[in-house]
Amino acid sequence: MKKIAVVAFGGNALQRGNEAGTIEQQEQHTLETCERLIGLLRIGYELVITHGNGPQVGNILLRNEAGYNQYKIPKMPLDICVADSQGGIGYMIDRQMRNALSKTELNKNVVALITEVLVDINDSAFNTPTKPIGPFYIKEEADLLAKANGWVFKEDPRKRGWRKVVASPKPIDVINKQVVKDLVEKGHIVISAGGGGIPVYYHEDTKYLEAIEAVIDKDLATALLAREINADKFFIVTDVPKVCLNFNKPDQKVIDHLTVAEARKYYNEGEFPAGSMGPKILAAVDFVESTGKEAIITNEEEIEKDNCGTRITLN
């Protein structure tokens, strides 16, 4: 049996926070990250890659608004925008992975899949939308849009305006998991579950598949996919080489290893915020508890090194 590594690209693997996010910048960062994954291929892992889409889908939503306001081009719903981002980012990773492979003797096919992820329509997350998406509005605009469309808005913590918020339900199944498993076991590099996947649900009476406006956490969706395809190792690529306690404080402490129990303890104590390391810790714990295997949180510069990152294990 071949070993399978699932690698979740964070936003930093594609775009730096201090950059404009031009396609040239994104392609360069993507190529650099793909080149560092060659080390995993060389030591015998087959690869499944997932990715975030925060800046990209935000730009797609801005184009939605601009196209409608100026030219009355009909707006596309969020599920179509997520699919749009999956296609564009998947293509970019596909091409740059091929470019990285071209510098080696390795012969691999690369394929990007549009991925739907099943959620529960009765998930309590739909009662309390929390995930901000799209552009900032002044309060008066937000109030009008909320009244006209039934949307929910919340003020940005940094006081940049008001943003629409949607639910972030728990992923319960990756629709095309068997396709991913079949492809990676045949030696192909698979790009899947971009942006956490497109949230869909089944109508109980007809089994009709329908999209719902929501955003699934990318790391949780990746952990689920990793479990479903029986991955041997789960890498979460972020913007720091290792997890830290007291992050960015004078007494910051770098962590090489965490047990599941320790990770949960620190999470419950507030060490890992919801908008930062928190979802990554929860995703790693979810994978390790379900499989008994190892999860690693690190950055793209370290991923090719032995004993990279913070390792989360059962014991």
12 catalytic residue (yes or no): yes
Cβ pair 120, 54 in contact under 8 A: no
What gap in Å lies between CA 209 and CA 201, rounded to an integer? 6
Name the packing angle between helices 54-71 and 78-102 (round to 10°): 130
Pick from 5, 131, 108, 159: nearest CA to 61: 131
The pair of three-digit structure tokens given for residue 261, joined into one six-digit string: 């129990």
Catalytic residue among 53, 134, 280, 299: 280
Told to judge if 131 belongs to the known catalytic residues of this protein, a careful annotator would answer yes
Helix (H) / strand (E) element for 137: namely strand 131-137
Q: Is 173 left (phi over 0), alpha (psi -120 to 50) or beta?
A: beta
Q: Which of 59, 67, 99, 131 is catalytic?
A: 131
Given 164, 177, 181, 218, the catalytic residue: 218
Residue type at 111?
V
Of 11, 134, 194, 196, the active-site residue reads: 11
What burial class does residue 160 get, using C-beta atoms within 10 Å of its C-beta: 0-12 exposed, 13-18 middle, 19+ buried? Answer: exposed
Catalytic site includes residue 99: no
69 is catalytic: no
Q: 2 an active-site residue?
A: no
Provide the annotated active-site residues: 11-12, 131, 218, 280
